[in-house]
Amino acid sequence: MEENKNKEQTQQGGRKRKRRHRHSGGGNNAAQNQQNQQNQQNQQNQQQIAQAQQTQQSQQNGNKQKNKPHNNQNAGKQQPATQSQKNQNHSAKQQNVSNKEKANDKKDENRKDTYVYMLDGNLYINLTNKCSNGCDFCVRNERTSYYGHHLWLRHGEPTVDKVIAQVNGFGDLTRFKEVVFCGFGEPTYKVAEMLKLCDYFHEKGVKTRLNTNGQGNLINKRDIIPDLKGKLDFVNVSLNASCAEKYQPICRSQFGENGFTAMVDFAKQCRRNGINCRFSIVDCIGEEEVEACKRLAESVKVPLYVRAYITDS
């Protein structure tokens, strides 16, 4: 700023010197006339200079006014959303999803619900749309289908037989790396169905994995971990944040901050019960938070997997 001011003064000074030099170099009349003319000219020049300075000053003031919103950091900067604004945005997103879904329902009245879908060499099982969380980054918030799979269940949650009927359409299951319980909801709401299906898939020679928010014990109001042993070959628990205070604003567990504590404990207990289990986080949470999650995972002796945020379908 100071540097610009100095440049401006130098430019003005330059203009003043030029004008004086130009006007002082008039014709060859009598000395008095010449002096009078010179005096008049000087007066005019001074008036012009004063006028020019006034105009310049008022232009600068005008520019300051115009630029105010850009110069004012707070005006240009987005204020951090309050929790209530975030909740309102989240509700608006959910409403938007619901509206999109209704519009899609109208377009495709006869579309069957998807309980089973294929992705990246795995077979995925979509048992429910219930979830105890309402995560900001959930793919459910952004789209009504996931990689072309319509995972919103319009005709209710499937029975084990209905799932198996769809699984049969995929032929030999041994070509899949794993069968993963993961859809547009938290699979532990359907723990009984999931465990029966685990038996079915093991009989077919396929490994099973659960992707969970880790709140299954709170959801079922009992310790479900002993039931999972021998049924699930792998459990992936979404950690998402390094502490309850950071988890709750982005994941909105219906159990409040207990959701986070129960989730960490769930992963710990899975490992203590001999179930192969890890935490996962998405890389969009920021480097510092990723590091804090690593420290937490280490402290409870649960491995951590950092995965890329899914941005496109």
CB of 129 to ligand SF4, least distance (A): 9
Element (H, E) at 6: helix 2-24
Rounded Cα distance, 4 and 130, in Å: 61
The CB-of-220 to ligand SF4 minimum distance in angstroms stands at 15
Which is nearest to 83 in space by CA: 262, 311, 256? 256
- Minimum gap (Å) between residue 242 Cβ and ligand SF4: 17
Q: Which is nearer to ligand SF4, 34 or 220 (CB)?
A: 220
Query: Minimum CB separation from ligand SF4 for residue 183, in Å?
Result: 8
* Distance, CA of 239 to CA of 297 (rounded, Å): 9
Phi, psi of 49 (to 5 degrees): -65, -45
Compare residues 131 and 198 and give the one whose CB is closer to ligand SF4.
131
Q: Distance from CA of residue 221 to its chain's centroid?
A: 31
Residue 270 DSSP class: H
Instruction: Return the residue matching tokens 């993961």.
Output: 182
Which chain residues interact with ligand SF4 by CB under 6 A?
131, 133-135, 138, 140, 185-186, 213
Question: Which residue, 136 or 164, has its beta carbon nearer to ligand SF4?
Answer: 136
Minimal distance in Å, beta carbon 256 to ligand SF4?
15
- Cβ-based nearer residue to ligand SF4, 154 or 202: 154
Q: Which residue has the tokens 């079922």?
A: 220
Gyration radius (Cα) of the chain, Å: 35
C-beta closer to ligand SF4: residue 140 or 209? 140
Output 157 or 186, the one with its CB closest to ligand SF4. 186
Q: 4 or 83: whose CB is closer to ligand SF4?
A: 83
Shortest Cβ distance from residue 238 to ligand SF4 (Å)? 6
In the complex, minimum distance from the CB of residue 173 to ligand SF4, in angstroms, rounded to a whole number: 24
Going across the sheet that includes 122-125, the strands are 116-119, 122-125, 179-181, 208-212, 234-238, 277-282, 304-307
Cα–Cα nearest to 12, from 57, 53, 58, 72: 53
Place of tokens 């169905």: 193
